Amino acid sequence: GAVVSQHPSRVICKSGTSVKIECRSLDFQATTMFWYRQFPKQSLMLMATSNEGSKATYEQGVEKDKFLINHASLTLSTLTVTSAHPEDSSFYICSATSVGGSYNEQFFGPGTRLTVL
Amino acid sequence: QKEVEQDPGPLSVPEGAIVSLNCTYSNSAFQYFMWYRQYSRKGPELLMYTYSSGNKEDGRFTAQVDKSSKYISLFIRDSQPSDSATYLCAMSYASGNQFYFGTGTSLTVIP
């Protein structure tokens, strides 16, 4: 149980295009989903927290107009990187906490590697 | 000062060795402590989750928390090549669900 999937697992795009990454909780309903970014040999940096049906809360320094988050249902959150640039190339990981579960237990997706040319 | 400090390594040990991984933290308000394992190009997976000071054991893994020293450890007994991965510590407050991660320690277990 408690499986989180991400799609796509890997994407390469041209500078200036937009990329959408999906995060799904497959066998549970997620009250909250988190989006992280991880650069090589660095830790996970929280970008934003999203709750179903409400606006995402962004961490300091994360541009909300550049990283659009939509949490349309209890099983799906999407992150759209708008007008991507090479410096946005990174490993993007989502996680989710389950309805009724311990809010300290986050289940992570497998990550999406974004390369912007 | 970072909230959570973790030696990035890399750490290389022979198969069968006991591995000790550590994190220190500065905020005494942290109440929950987690250890995650992350294989290359994969998402983190939860290994251990503790709340109170003391030890928690699960198979070959033991998590230790010392709140007075703001220090947590993960011990791996009889290490295996399949344990080769990056190990991340994470912490959170009693309220709220934001995690604070260490930078991760890269471990290689040599057959």
| Nearest CA-CA partner of A6 in A82, A75, A72, A57 | A75
pLDDT score for A104: 61
Q: Give the pLDDT band (50/70/90) at residue A52.
A: confident
Strand partners, B6: B23
| Number of inter-chain CB pairs under 8 A, A vs B | 54
Query: What Rg value do the Cα atoms of chain A yield, rounded?
Result: 13
Identify the residue among B92, B97, B105, B106 best suited for mutation to test binding to A, counting A beta carbons within 10 A and taking the highest.
B97
Which residues 23-82 of B are in CB contact (within 8 Å) with A?
32, 34, 36, 41-46, 49
A91/B92 Cβ within 8 A: no
The answer to whether the beta carbons of residues A101 and A1 sit under 8 Å apart is no
Question: Does A91 contact chain B (CB < 8 Å)?
Answer: yes
How many whole angstroms separate alpha carbon B100 and alpha carbon B91?
5
**How does pLDDT run across B65-77, given as a tens digit for each residue?**
999 999 999 999 9
B92/A43 Cβ within 8 A: no
How many whole angstroms separate alpha carbon A34 and alpha carbon A104?
12
Q: Give the pLDDT band (50/70/90) at residue B93.
A: confident
* CA dist B15 → B80, B86, B87 (Å): 5, 16, 17
How many whole angstroms separate alpha carbon B59 and alpha carbon B76?
9
**How does pLDDT run across A87-104, given as a tens digit for each residue?**
999 999 999 987 666 556
Task: State the average pLDDT over residues A34-52.
Answer: 89
| Nearest CA-CA partner of B92 in B30, B4, B47 | B30
Residues of chain B with Cβ-Cβ distance to A41 below 8 Å are 8, 103-104, 106
Identify the residue among B30, B33, B37, B101 best suited for mutation to test binding to A, counting A beta carbons within 10 A and taking the highest.
B101
* CA dist A76 → A53, A62, A81 (Å): 11, 21, 17
Task: State the average pLDDT over residues A58-86.
Answer: 93
pLDDT(B95) > 80 = no
Q: What are the backbone dihedrals phi and psi of residue B95, each rounded to the nearest 5 degrees, phi first?
A: -110, 150
In the numeric block, which tokens belong to residue A27? 């066998």
Cis preceding-peptide flag for B10 (omega within 30 of 0)? yes
Residues of chain A with Cβ-Cβ distance to B99 below 8 Å are 34, 44, 46, 106
pLDDT score for B1: 62
